[in-house]
Amino acid sequence: MSSTRLAAVIIADSGIAFGTSGARGLVEQFTDEVCAAFSVAFLSAMQSSFDVKRIAIGMDRRPSSPAMVAACTGAAHAMGIEVDDYGVLPTPALALQAMTDGIPCIMITGSHIPFDRNGIKFYRPDGEITKQDETAILRSTTPMPAEILPVRNDVSDAANETYARHFTSWFIGEPLKGWRIGLYQHSAAGRDLNAHILTELGADVVVLGRSETFVPVDTEAVSEEDQAKGRAWAKQHQLHALLSTDGDGDRPLVGDETGTWQRGDVVGLLCAQALKIEALAVPVSCNTAIEACGAFRQIERTRIGSPYVLASMAALNKQFDSVAGFEANGGFLLGSDLKADNRELAALPTRDALLPALTLMIAAAQRGMRLSQLFSGLPLRYTASDRLKDFPTQQSNALLAKWQSAPEKMQEALGLAAPIKAVNTIDGLRATLENNDIVHLRPSGNAPELRCYCESDSQAQASALVQKSLASLAALA
């Protein structure tokens, strides 16, 4: 591969844009040249602030990921930068290793998005890139090296070992001894690592649903098939809990002893309570039980996406000793180091699936409780979400702009049972009805999809509200 064009020009011509979780696009858009251009632009941006001599790289199990790693590795080599290749591993494991080593990293993953797509996540030596970093990448004036040859380095397992120690040094001994945990592995990047960590913590692990074909599990919109699987597995294997993650292991899917998959924001809420977090940053789409439970000194609501949560956490860190954030998808971001009984848990300010899952399971085990009992103690607010696929972003934006100025038209179009009393436009259009139900519509930042988040006083009503709203929206398409 050779080129004298600017990296930013190649990126712009590709049609790939940044969403809430890095650069995302169709697999066919991520050519060797485009992947190399993203790498050159990112590394150039990092070199303006850091002394960059090495970079870490990892990937998920999508068939398109190895070639993208090779292209990114070749670009780094062409710039005189060494590459630590960690192969297939969870995103938080890669981020933790890179932050420990004080180097930037690149994760090749499309997370949960459709199979015909993939993506690239970028991390500074001190954590996720910022919106300012995104702008620097997209506007990079760095010319491409004269020759870039895609290549793979030898793969190291060191990042997996660091990630495992992160938990086994915090959760001392075998706190899950006597617990039988079903691990829904599918094609998750950390499926074997997760089994190892659970076993180290004393759990009896039952491996379930392993797949050599990539499965795009969305923890915010669990399929009816996976819901049925959860209930069947819990009954068949007499489980205390179920655990799964999305494709790159930064979003948890936690099921209780009945096989019911729990909502990610409620998992995050209970985790933050158990860790005695003082201040939280959470997206506007998260359950209002976070405020209603009264467990936190301060709560900041943000736009959806980890960069916004991270920015809010940084501000909260100036005022509070223990700060965290989480998203509706369950990804938990630990913004400050935690210490207890000669143990220390290092901050990991990027989405992580294992910390919230393990914290809840261990909290229940230590109290001699069923996992479902932890959830039953929260204020009775229930959320549900789903998405309308193949709904153009431009159409979504036009529709929400019209309804923002005329909420009564939204009520009429969606057939809502009560008038809209308040509208929040932090991210998308979030309407609170006079009966306190909530309907939140937002175009996805990763794909041409329109997401719908609803909240009500019962799970059945929240789920029904989502389906009714999406059916009405589909009729408008």
Distance set, CA 241 to CA 57, 62, 198, 204, 218 (Å): 32, 27, 12, 11, 19
In a domain, 235, yes or no: yes
In a domain, 2, yes or no: no
Out of 376, 408, 435, a domain closes at 376
Same domain (yes/no): 401, 323: no
Q: Where is average pLDDT lowest: 21-30, 69-78, 85-94, 98-107?
A: 21-30
Residue 417: pLDDT over 80: yes
- What is d(CA 392, CA 110) in angstroms, rounded to the nearest whole number? 19
**The two structure tokens encoding residue 448:** 């041409």
Find residue 107's DSSP bridge partners: 58, 121
Task: Dump strand ranges (E) for 322-419.
Answer: 323-326, 332-334, 338-340, 343-345, 348-352, 382-388
Residue 313: pLDDT over 70: yes
**CA-wise closest residue to 94 among 77, 72, 117, 116:** 72
**The two structure tokens encoding residue 176:** 């899950």
- What is d(CA 321, CA 298) in angstroms, rounded to the nearest whole number? 12
pLDDT of residue 445: 67
Q: Is 111 a catalytic residue?
A: yes
Mean pLDDT of 129-150: 93
Question: Over pLDDT 70: what percentage of the chain?
Answer: 99
Residue 3: pLDDT over 60: no
Q: Where is average pLDDT lowest: 104-118, 172-186, 456-470?
A: 104-118
Residue from 64, 65, 111, 385 carrying the catalytic annotation = 111
Split at pLDDT 50, 70, 90, the class of 446 is low
pLDDT of residue 2: 43
Q: pLDDT by residue (tens digit) across 215-224?
A: 888 888 788 8
Out of 324, 346, 376, a domain closes at 376
Q: What's the chain's average pLDDT?
A: 94
Same domain (yes/no): 24, 114: yes
**The two structure tokens encoding residue 232:** 């069947």
Out of 142, 160, 178, a domain closes at 160
Same domain (yes/no): 392, 372: no
**CA-wise closest residue to 126 among 38, 43, 53, 46:** 46
Same domain (yes/no): 424, 361: no
Same domain (yes/no): 57, 180: no
Find residue 54's DSSP bridge partners: 82
In a domain, 92, yes or no: yes
Same domain (yes/no): 337, 202: yes
pLDDT of residue 351: 95
Residue 435: pLDDT over 90: yes
Residue 298: pLDDT over 90: yes
Split at pLDDT 50, 70, 90, the class of 209 is very high
Residue with the bigger pLDDT between 380 and 120: it is 120
Helices (H), ranges, 188-241: 191-200, 224-237
Same domain (yes/no): 218, 138: no
Same domain (yes/no): 291, 386: no
The pTM of the full predicted model, rounded to 2 decimals, is 0.90
Same domain (yes/no): 361, 416: no
Range of the domain at 245: 169-376
Name the 3-class secondary structure at 150: coil
> Tell me, what DSSP letter sits at residue 344?
E
pLDDT of residue 214: 87
Query: Is there a contact between 251 and 188 (Cβ–Cβ < 8 Å)?
Result: no
Structural domains counted in the chain: 3
Residue 284: pLDDT over 80: yes
Query: Is there a contact between 270 and 361 (Cβ–Cβ < 8 Å)?
Result: no
